[in-house]
Amino acid sequence: MYRFSGTITLEDYIQFNESFRRKLSKKAHIVLFSAFVGLIVTIYILGLLEWDSDDEIGPVEAAAYCVVLILFWPLLVWLSKIANRLLWKNHFRSNKSRDDGYTYSIDEREIVVESENSRTVITREKVHKITMDEDSVYIFTAIGMANIVKARYFATRDEYEEVREYIVKNYAST
C-alpha cells in the first residue's frame, strides 16, 4: 500500500486544465482556423467579384483585409489563453476546501482520497482514464474531473516514479 499527502496550488490547477484541454484545444483551433480562413477566402472572392465597382472592395483591399485577419489569429489565440487562465483562477479560488490538503491511500483494490471534509473511494471500474505530464498523474473519474498526484508529494523522484507506475499498472484501462 502507498500512502502520501499534499495540496493543490493554483499553478497545479492551471497545469491540469492546460494538460486536459490541450488535445481538445488542438481540434478546436483547427476547426476555428478553418472557418476563419473560409471567411477570409469568402471576403477575398467577393472582393474579386465586385472589383470593377467604385464603391465595392477591390482585389487589393480584399487581399489586405485577408492578411490583416490572418495576422489577427495569434492575438485571438493569446486572448483565449488569458481568458482561460482567469476563468481557472476564479474556479480555483471558489473552492473553499482547496487548502485542506489530500491524503491518498492506494492499493490493488482502490484509491482512497481523503481531506478534512471528504472521503472518495475510487475503484478500477470508476477510473475513466489516467494521463500524465512531467510531474503529475491525473486520475480521471469523469471527463474534466480528476484527482491530481504531484511528484512533490514524495520524498524522492524514485518514490514518485514507483507510485506512478503502480497506478498505471493497476488502474489504467487496457
Report domain extents, the chain. Answer: 2-6+99-171, 10-94
All three cell numbers of 126: 470508476
pLDDT of amino acid 113? 95
pLDDT of amino acid 144: 83
Q: Residue 172: how many CB atoms within 10 A of its CB?
A: 15
What is the value of pTM for the model shown?
A: 0.73
Contact predicate 27/125, CB 8 Å: no
Query: According to the CATH classification, is domain 2-6+99-171 in 2.30.29?
Result: yes
Looking at residue 48, what is its pLDDT?
59
> Cβ(108)–Cβ(101) under 8 Å?
no
Cβ atoms 132, 145 nearer than 8 A: no
What CA–CA distance (Å, rounded) separates 139 from 74?
A: 33
Those residues with Cβ within 8 angstroms of residue 120's Cβ, 6 or more apart along the chain or in another chain: 112, 113, 114, 147
Report residue 167's pLDDT band, with 50, 70 and 90 as the boundaries.
Answer: very high
Residues in a beta bridge with 136: 133, 150
pLDDT number for residue 19: 83
The distance between the two most distant Cα atoms of the chain, rounded to a whole number of Å, is 79
Reported as a single tens digit per residue, the pLDDT across 61-113 is 767 777 777 788 788 878 888 998 999 999 999 987 777 889 999 999 999 99
Q: What is the mean pLDDT of the chain?
A: 85
- Nearest Cα to 6, choosing from 92, 102, 136? 102
- pLDDT higher than threshold 70 for residue 51: no
CA 107 – CA 114 distance, rounded (Å) = 15
Higher pLDDT, 20 or 115: 115
**What distances in angstroms separate CA 168 from CA 5, 16, 171, one per listed residue?**
19, 18, 5
Q: What are the pLDDT digits (tens) for 114-124?
A: 998 889 999 99
Q: Which three cell numbers mark 24?
A: 481538445
From start to end of 20-117, where are the E strands? 102-106, 110-114
